[in-house]
Amino acid sequence: MTAFQPSHCPWPRCPSRHDKASPHIQRRGFFRTRHHPKVQRFLCLVCKRSFSTQTFRLDYRLRYPDLHLKVFWENVSKVTLRQSGRKLKVDRKTIAHRLHLLGVHAEAFHTDKLRQPAGAGFQGPFQLDELETFESDRRLQPLTVPVLIHRRNYFVVHLDAGTLPCRGKLTPKYRQKKQAREKLYGKRRSESRKLVTRCFEILQRALPPEVALELQSDRKQLYGSVLAKVFEGERSYRWRRESSKTRRDNRNLLFPINHTLAQMRDSISRLVRRNWGVSKQCAWLRRHLWVWLIWRNYVRPVTVKPKVPTPAQIAGVCSKPLTAEEVFTWRIF
Ligand SMILES: [Zn+2]
């Protein structure tokens, strides 16, 4: 386990949070817990509160301290929540709790990494596509999952999940169901524009200034208008399009993004087509996607060959491959 030195006091309203330059944390001995024999205690000299390394741990106050790491591997191995519960001998709700914990942390971890100045491996081109799936009902509640990657190193810059309108050509039975749903929740609308805009805004912030952007995608008109809205006046950009009817082999321009979406369907249980593990709610799909992003970017090498770096290493975001333990031990404040 790596030694941990807190960079700031964990109390959100401590005045020292705004003055990180002055040293204000003092070591104050050790204590032991059931799972950790030697825990360092600290004292904040500004607010006089004491805390310990435990306060910064992701598994702080959890009954099964290593369970989230096991759940991480289940989450990226096409295992459903229910089956993970049976295998790890804990309740399904405990597994869901850890998925929530992992998902929220994964997003914070990746966001934090993108804040640091990117290396030369982060200059594009980039590729974007939307994977289609659904929550509970394939016809009435479709979802879109936009994924933005670096074309050469497969680094996933951002992903998200949101609603799509009901599908057309519904049978009378489904039309009735649709009307009943609309009375309860209102008309289901497309969130595609909102989510794609967010993908590009994150890319705009992460890219070094003065670097021209090349985006490659299919010919969906929406991408062109969002590109102009986000990048016009900010940096020069080029949009390279490929027909979605072009043969999808490894000579296709969009092979990297097609391959990434296929890999997501292979690793994430709820994206496997026609299976019982499908998402019941979009919010849970989002959490699961973020956990997968950590595995894809930071833990798994780009290919299965030995001594190959991870996408994050090639992108210059990390200097070495990370283990699940390294990513999911310390909270991001
Ligand atoms: Zn303090």
- Per-residue pLDDT tens for 151-201? 999 999 999 999 999 998 899 999 999 999 999 999 999 999 999 999 999
Is pLDDT above 70 for 20? no
Q: Output the pTM of the full model.
A: 0.92
The tally of CA atoms less than 13 A away on the side-chain side of residue 319 is: 2
CA of 255 to the centre of ligand 1 (A): 51
Q: What is the pLDDT of residue 286?
A: 97
CA distance 139 to 90: 33
Phi, psi of 58 (to 5 degrees): -70, -30
Sequence ranges of the chain with CATH classification 3.30.420.10 = 67-327
Mean pLDDT, residues 94-121: 91
Residues, Cβ < 5 Å to ion ligand 1: 9, 11, 14, 16, 44, 46-47
CA distance 149 to 32: 44
CA of 40 to the centre of ligand 1 (A): 16
The 3-state secondary structure of 71-109, one letter per residue: HHHHHCCCCCHHHHHHHHCCCHHHHHHHHHHHHHHHHHH
Q: With b meaning 16 or more CB within 10 Å and e meaning fewer, what string describes 221-257?
A: eebeebbeebbeeeeebeeeebeeeeeeeeebbbebb
Is pLDDT above 90 for 4? no
CA of 10 to the centre of ligand 1 (A): 7
Q: What is the pLDDT of residue 146?
A: 98
Q: What is the pLDDT of residue 16?
A: 81
What is the pLDDT of the chain when averaged over all its residues?
92
Identify the band that residue 333 occupies on the pLDDT scale cut at 50, 70 and 90: confident
CA of 16 to the centre of ligand 1 (A): 6
More confident site: 146 or 13: 146
Is pLDDT above 60 for 36? yes
CA distance 318 to 224: 31
What tens digit of pLDDT does each residue of 191-247 get? 999 999 999 999 999 998 888 999 999 999 999 999 999 999 999 999 999 998 888
Identify the band that residue 3 occupies on the pLDDT scale cut at 50, 70 and 90: low
CA of 324 to the centre of ligand 1 (A): 30
CA of 50 to the centre of ligand 1 (A): 8
Q: What is the pLDDT of residue 22?
A: 59
| Among the listed residues 120, 112, 178, 183, the one whose alpha carbon sits nearest the alpha carbon of residue 153 | 120
Tokens of 228: 């102009």
Give the residue ranges of DSSP H helices in the chain: 67-75, 81-88, 92-115, 172-185, 192-206, 221-231, 255-267, 282-294, 311-315, 324-327
Tokens of 157: 């810059």
CA of 185 to the centre of ligand 1 (A): 45
Tell whether domain 67-327 is in CATH 3.40.50.450.
Answer: no
Q: What is the pairing mode between strands 126-134 and 213-217?
A: parallel
CA of 2 to the centre of ligand 1 (A): 23
Is pLDDT above 60 for 2? no
What tens digit of pLDDT does each residue of 117-151 get? 777 778 889 999 999 999 999 999 999 999 999 99
Mean pLDDT, residues 48-69: 90
Q: What is the pLDDT of residue 21?
A: 62
